[in-house]
Amino acid sequence: MGLGPKIEKSPAIRKAGHARMSGEACSPAVPNFFIVGAARCGTTSLFEALSHHADIYCCPVKEPNYFAFDLTAERGTIEDARRQGVLINRPLRTVLAPPRVAVTTDYCAYLHLFSQRSGEKAIGEASTSYLPSRVAAKEIAARFPAARIVIVLRDPVARAHSEYLMHRQLGRAIGTFREAVRPELDELARGATGVRGMVLSGFYSPQVRRYLAHFRREQILFLLFDDLVRAPRRALERVLCHLGVDPLPAREIPIGWENRSRVPRFAGLNRLAERTGKRTSLLRIIPRPIRRGMRSLFYAPVTPLAVEEDDRRTLLDIFRDDITATARLTSLDLSHWMRVPRLSRLSRLR
């Protein structure tokens, strides 16, 4: 096909939803690929890279979360989305930048998110709630049985720690990593079967099993976060081939990390913006390219410390059986997830 890097397109404004809209026809464009997670596994960077390919249309709202009916129905979710200005229950028409993450409750509004497609072969979105959701795989398969699925997995202990660092970046005071995961460990000890949380989200085997139950194996691409980090272009080529588009542009597509670890320079202001729901609304006023350049004003980059040996050992004991099951289901070599690297004395004292 000889495609080069994608020429910048004008930003599109789209929509999403659970119910059927009345009085307006749904968009004829429909998604045919889904990056379903896991969260904190590089999906934002991967999706951003895919958006530069001329034959791929990426939803302007990276995570519409339409098909995670069970999770968006949880108490307070709709109200929080409305308060933060990220509830999509009608066509998204606004001069503001579209939110990166939203809660979509109308099907025609959801399809409208893809209405600016202009002939691209692959059309998709990347809601990371779809992997832990107990219903998303079935719902996606019911609407789009031929869809291509991409699942990125990461060492569950490292993934949990990354989520903890994200909470710290947002200014949420949750103590040390050990203190932050303790409530979930207590829940697990009592037999909890939840699907969301720093620890709970890392039990991949039941999540993967749901997709294998509703899609043919060849429709699902399993990637490791480690591969995205060590050989990003090779990993991108695999994704492009899986989506049925020319893989050659992978050599030229810019690849950057969108969610690097940072700490807020103004923690009090950050907490206030997060608590009042104004953070997302304020960010949407600023175009994304400018927003990326402003990050250094409000966030300082930080090199995260490794998980303490004792904490990693404790969590590995919990994840071990699930890691074995996930390796069997995906045919991936996950033996390196089982290791407990020894930290130097200096690292322990930091």
Domain with 79, as residue range(s), is: 33-349
pTM for this predicted structure: 0.85
What is the number of structural domains in the chain? 1
- Asked if the structure places residue 85 within a domain, the reply is yes
- Asked if the structure places residue 20 within a domain, the reply is no
- Asked if the structure places residue 128 within a domain, the reply is yes
**Structural tokens at position 267:** 């923690």
Task: For 244-253, write each residue's pLDDT tens digit.
Answer: 999 999 999 9
Contacts of 262 (CB under 8 A, 6+ apart): 169, 295, 299, 300, 301, 302
Report d(CA 175, CA 153) in Å as an integer.
26
The answer to whether 122 touches 57, Cβ cutoff 8 Å, is yes
Nearest CA to 340 out of 321, 317, 185, 324 is that of 317
Task: For 218-242, write each residue's pLDDT tens digit.
Answer: 999 999 999 999 999 999 999 999 9
- Asked if the structure places residue 25 within a domain, the reply is no
Q: What is the CATH number of the domain that holds 57?
A: 3.40.50.300
- Asked if the structure places residue 2 within a domain, the reply is no
Task: For 78-106, write each residue's pLDDT tens digit.
Answer: 999 998 889 999 998 776 788 999 999 99
* 265 HSE (CA, 13 A, CB side): 8
Contacts of 100 (CB under 8 A, 6+ apart): 44, 61, 62, 63
- Asked if the structure places residue 27 within a domain, the reply is no
Nearest CA to 127 out of 139, 142, 115, 145 is that of 139
- Asked if the structure places residue 8 within a domain, the reply is no
The answer to whether 210 touches 70, Cβ cutoff 8 Å, is no
- Asked if the structure places residue 18 within a domain, the reply is no
